[in-house]
């Protein structure tokens, strides 16, 4: 199906590069990427307790993010 979309320059460049690397059309590359994105398992899920806050899976033993970590990250920007 033919349609017109406005796509950010960096994304169209990445899709063109992918299409060229796979020797396929730009349309097929974008369709495949969209299909993968729409069927991917979300990395953030709703809180089962209904609070509305996102819930993230964290590996066992992961270092907790402290206020100091956040401040350090902000200072690096």
* Domains in the chain: ranges and CATH: 1-39 (1.10.1220)
- The 10s digit of each residue's pLDDT in 21-62 is 999 999 999 999 999 988 887 666 666 676 777 777 788 999
Q: What is the mean pLDDT of residues 66-72?
A: 94
Return the sign of the alpha-carbon dihedral for residues 46, 51, 53, 55: negative
Please report the pLDDT score of residue 2 as a whole number: 87
Cα–Cα–Cα angle for 43, 44, 47, rounded to 5 degrees: 145
pLDDT at 1 over 70: yes
Model pLDDT, residue 48: 66
How does DSSP classify residue 41? P
Has this prediction a pTM greater than 0.85? no
């Amino acid at each position: 199906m033919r349609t017109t979309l406005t796509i950010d320059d960096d994304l169209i460049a990445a899709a063109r590069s992918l299409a060229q690397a796979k020797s396929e059309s730009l349309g097929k590359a974008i369709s495949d990427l969209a299909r993968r994105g729409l069927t991917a398992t979300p990395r953030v899920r709703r809180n089962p307790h209904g609070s509305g806050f996102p819930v993230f899976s964290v590996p066992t033993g992961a270092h907790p993010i402290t206020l100091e970590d956040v401040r350090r990250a902000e200072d690096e920007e």
